[in-house]
Structure 1
Amino acid sequence: MVVVKMGSAQREAMLYESLSSGAVRCHVCARRCTIAPGRTGYCRVRKNSDGVLYTQNYGYVSSEAIDPVEKKPLYHILPGTATYSLGTFGCNFSCLHCQNHRISMPDESVYSAVLSETGLSRFGEIITPDEVVQRALLLDTKSVSFTYNEPTVWYEFVYDTAAAAKEKDLFVILVTNGYMTPEALEKLAPYIDAYRVDLKSFSDDFYAQVCSARLEPVLESISSAKKLGLHIEIVTLIIPGKNDGEDEAEKAAAWILENLGEETPVHLNAFQPHYRMEDVGPTPGSVLEKLRAVYTKAGLNYVYIGNMISEYQNTFCPECGSLLISRLYSFGERENLNRDEHGFYCASCGRKIPIFCPEDIDF
């Protein structure tokens, strides 16, 4: 049962500028919205009140759970561990296939309830960064994941919570659409370990038509995350007839190889009909295997198939093909994988395997 704490979810925002007209310009998201007095930005949670930009959802939790880190999906960091996952409401995208549209794009009754600080028992609760850390530790998780909706629109709370989590040696994970500005990411990066980012398509037209966004800011964000030293895993949801072409896959694979490197994990996930794309059929496994072959042929070593049972949800050695980590539904289990003071390596051929898991975490 959720315990509701009445309180204010409003805080002055970070990373904005005041304009002479009384408007403000937000610099957290790549949209860089110019917001007139009394109005909100595209995300509907950042409001200009008398020339000051406020976040309206600070600490406001709509969803929380204990998940296997593999569910994010993240396969090469903290395998076999649980992560304390939480999200708020709002988003800077409007994806036609959104699986969490009830919290990312809720109707006006939700916004009205939250912004007036009423109805919290129905829609969620307000908690503090320290409470997030306490819950993560009490539940014996190794990390905190900001997920379910886009963490960029929760920036101030994510920043404060991530900083508090690092003080207690918790790892911090962003599950993001990659639309954060370079300056916002740079400010947050010291407190973030993993940047699990959706590369929804390698087509700007797809981003415009399906997500009401653009491709280039996403590529810029991913490149910035790499330069900042964050662990990156790429996820592409393959939607039949929308982003399942081999030509597009070749371009995406080439970009990942050039900008992130051959060891970057890539997840090709199956689409299921949802939201405003209920008339689009599910992704056939044969299509995912065909696209996986494109990525591996390009030179990427760890290309996974997700959202369905497949042998390619497992990790294999790129050198000798040995099964290293098996996964059935969730938690990964070590198979032919050893570790020493230098990290993980294939027990058969000795190849180094890029798995990040501190020695004090048993895997």
Structure 2
Amino acid sequence: MEQVQGSHYPARYWHVLEDGRVQCDLCPRVCKLHDGQRGLCFVRARVGEGMVLTTYGRSSGFCVDPVEKKPLNHFLPGTPILSFGTAGCNLTCKFCQNWDISKAREIDRLNDAASPDAIAQAAVQLGCRSVAFTYNDPVIFLEYAVDTARACHARGLKTVAVTAGYIAPEARREFFAHMDAANVDLKAFTEDFYRDLCGGHLEAVLDTLRYLRHETDVWTEITTLLIPGRNDSDDEVAALASWVVENLGPDVPLHFSAFHPDWRMRDVGPTPATTLAGARAIARAAGMRHVYTGNVHDAEGGSTWCPGCGGLLIGRDWYELTAWRLTADGCCPDCGARLAGLFEPMPGTWGRKRQPVRFRAGR
């Protein structure tokens, strides 16, 4: 366990054990800590007789992105979203694509200090429709994320969690009560993959997905990074898609994303575009209505098609909208089928650009 340094903010979801250790109850890891120790996530720590969050009000960076980059294809398409994260993670994925942030063990890398009100105010001034908690998993900075979400909602902004869904049930209720949308990273569909490559358990994530779909109004999309030889077999893709259809319904969008060599899996090659196209076909055959490909140039796999007649509704080239055929109430103009998601009468025009944002110290 790491020793605590840096700022302290009172954390929720913990209790004292009979042996005097403090147990963190935020996620299924239930780290048990002596005074001065940090949990595996690195940012939640024991100080004295309680727990603290060491990254409250501090970020690894802010950027205005297209909402499609989260990825969310059925949530305010074409609009800008202010994205930020902190440091640390409660999983240990060997293939992490944001390892410099999620695996960070130096709190000093958090250069941007911003209060929840400052973040919400900046999002409004930048013309964003929403704020995303992303880059590292926001469940580990729950207190900061929830306070920021409250500030955003007070200004009419939507909130988005980009998360692996590895969170305990009690904390989950509070966290998602303040989110309007989520993209859940379903790493794979085998327990062996989660145990060996992520240091976690599949069932906890599936439980979060069931909770989001059946007990909340949070708009939910799913992303699976397909890694050659690890989780990209036809059988596993078919099993994953069938589970989603049976447990969540056919309208939940599923994004198959391309892996590139990173972190501790640099010996594995990138995902071929043909693998993504094949996975998309398998998932559609299993009954899923909205299946997308990501991290590759694939206009067909990135576009939204009518679940009724199959016509093009939203065309996309990377993150640029190339076609918009939804009616003002979110339906197909040809057959009248309603498209699941949150849509405005007209699409946004942000496109594929990214705009880094710097906060002044103490803002």
Common fold: TM-score over 0.5: yes
* 1:356 counterpart residue number: 342
Structure 1, 289-298 or 328-337: larger mean CA deviation = 328-337
Deviations 1:124-160 (CA, angstroms, capped at 9, x unpaired): 1221111111111110100000000111111110011
* 2:192 counterpart residue number: 205
* 2:264 counterpart residue number: 276
Shift in Å, 1:358: 4.2
User: Which ranges in structure 1 are unaligned for 5 or more consecutive residues?
Assistant: 1-7, 114-121
1:81 to 76, 79, 82: 79
Deviations 1:198-227 (CA, angstroms, capped at 9, x unpaired): 001001100111111111111111111112
* 1:15 counterpart residue number: 13
Structure 2 residue matching 1:84: 3-state secondary structure: strand
- For the residues of structure 2 that align with 1:81 and 1:19, how far apart are their CA atoms? 47
* Kept in 2: contact 1:143–1:172 (CA 8 A): yes
- For the residues of structure 2 that align with 1:353 and 1:142, how far apart are their CA atoms? 20
* Kept in 2: contact 1:324–1:336 (CA 8 A): yes
* 1:5 counterpart residue number: none
Alignment of 1:295-334 (within 5 A): 295-310=283-298, 311-334=300-323
Structure 2 residue matching 1:152: 3-state secondary structure: helix
Structure 1 residue matching 2:230: 3-state secondary structure: coil
TM-score, with length taken from structure 2 = 0.90
- For the residues of structure 2 that align with 1:217 and 1:67, how far apart are their CA atoms? 29
Judged with a 3 Å threshold, the aligned counterparts in structure 2 of structure 1 residues 331 and 154 are, in CA distance, closer, same or farther, namely farther
* 2:359 counterpart residue number: none
Alignment of 1:1-363 (within 5 A): 9-107=7-105, 110-111=106-107, 113=108, 123-226=110-213, 227-310=215-298, 311-339=300-328, 343-359=329-345
User: Which structure has more RCO (C-alpha within 8 Å, separation ≥ 6)?
Assistant: 2
Structure 2 residue matching 1:195: 3-state secondary structure: strand
* Kept in 2: contact 1:178–1:198 (CA 8 A): yes
Residue 337 of structure 1 aligns with an amino acid whose one-letter code is: L
Structure 1 residue matching 2:331: 3-state secondary structure: strand
- For the residues of structure 1 that align with 2:347 and 2:272, how far apart are their CA atoms? 37
- For the residues of structure 2 that align with 1:353 and 1:145, how far apart are their CA atoms? 23
* Kept in 1: contact 2:77–2:347 (CA 8 A): no
- For the residues of structure 1 that align with 2:8 and 2:281, how far apart are their CA atoms? 48
TM-score, with length taken from structure 1 = 0.90
Judged with a 3 Å threshold, the aligned counterparts in structure 2 of structure 1 residues 196 and 334 are, in CA distance, closer, same or farther, namely same
Shift in Å, 1:59: 1.1
Q: Percentage identity across aligned positions?
A: 39
* Kept in 1: contact 2:219–2:341 (CA 8 A): no
Structure 2 residue matching 1:65: 3-state secondary structure: strand
Structure 1 residue matching 2:264: 3-state secondary structure: helix
- For the residues of structure 1 that align with 2:301 and 2:121, how far apart are their CA atoms? 36
Deviations 1:59-97 (CA, angstroms, capped at 9, x unpaired): 111121000000010000010100000000000011111
Deviations 1:234-280 (CA, angstroms, capped at 9, x unpaired): 00000000001111112111110111111110000111111211111
* Kept in 1: contact 2:330–2:345 (CA 8 A): no
Structure 2 residue matching 1:353: 3-state secondary structure: coil
- For the residues of structure 1 that align with 2:278 and 2:218, how far apart are their CA atoms? 29
* Kept in 1: contact 2:327–2:345 (CA 8 A): no
Shift in Å, 1:362: 5.8
* Kept in 2: contact 1:196–1:232 (CA 8 A): yes
Structure 2 residue matching 1:352: 3-state secondary structure: coil
Judged with a 3 Å threshold, the aligned counterparts in structure 2 of structure 1 residues 128 and 9 are, in CA distance, closer, same or farther, namely farther
Shift in Å, 1:18: 2.1
Structure 2 residue matching 1:73: 3-state secondary structure: coil
Judged with a 3 Å threshold, the aligned counterparts in structure 2 of structure 1 residues 358 and 10 are, in CA distance, closer, same or farther, namely farther
* 1:4 counterpart residue number: none
Aligned length: 342
* Kept in 2: contact 1:9–1:59 (CA 8 A): no
Judged with a 3 Å threshold, the aligned counterparts in structure 2 of structure 1 residues 353 and 287 are, in CA distance, closer, same or farther, namely same
Structure 1, 65-74 or 98-107: larger mean CA deviation = 98-107
Shift in Å, 1:172: 0.3
Shift in Å, 1:359: 5.0
* Kept in 1: contact 2:26–2:168 (CA 8 A): yes
Structure 1, 185-194 or 131-140: larger mean CA deviation = 185-194
- For the residues of structure 2 that align with 1:290 and 1:15, how far apart are their CA atoms? 42
- For the residues of structure 1 that align with 2:60 and 2:67, how far apart are their CA atoms? 20
Deviations 1:314-355 (CA, angstroms, capped at 9, x unpaired): 11112222111111121435433222xxx3111122211113
* Kept in 2: contact 1:268–1:305 (CA 8 A): yes
Shift in Å, 1:361: 7.2
For the aligned residue pairs, the C-alpha RMSD in angstroms reads 1.6
